[in-house]
Homo-oligomer: A and B are copies of this chain.
Amino acid sequence: MSNKQGARNWYIVDGYMPYKGKIDEAGFEGHEAVMILNCQDADAEVVMDIYYEDKEPDQNIPIAVPARRVKCLRMDDPNDTGGIVLDRQKQYSLRFRSDIEVIIQYGRMDIAQPNLAYIGMMGYSE
């Protein structure tokens, strides 16, 4: 069996924070999340870069992922994005670089219409 446990470089291209929705119900707010799985016995130090269509990227936002845990980042929570407030309904992309191998998946939950629609996919890794 392999010792790799993932990859050190991950990319998510189609970041797009959906319309928040008008429904007054807990748990159904349009949002995006990034999940990072660290199967290793050491903590992972990850840096996140945010790319845009029309300006220079924000880079080197630090993210700590403890050993043997999954960490969930909410892209609409500045506590999870190094204080950066992403505009809703604007395109952006994400790059993650980790000091050890991890696995990164992306999810979007959209209730703009207002039915629920999903995107769920692995990032691109190398």
Contacts and interface: CB of A to CB of B under 8 A. Distances in A.
Interface of A: 1-2, 4-6, 8-9, 11-14, 19, 27-28, 33, 35-37, 39, 49, 51-54, 56-57, 68-72, 89, 91-93, 95, 97, 103-105, 107-108, 110-126
B108 A120 contact: yes
A93 B68 CA distance: 10
Given A11-B37, A110-B118, A122-B121, A52 B27 contact: no
Contact of A115 (B69, B104, B116): B116
Contacts of A49: 39
The oligomer's copy count stands at 4
A27 B57 CA distance: 26
Given A70-B51, A113-B111, A105 B13 contact: yes
Contacts of A36: 13
Nearest to A94: B37
Contacts of A105: 12-14, 124
B70 A52 contact: yes
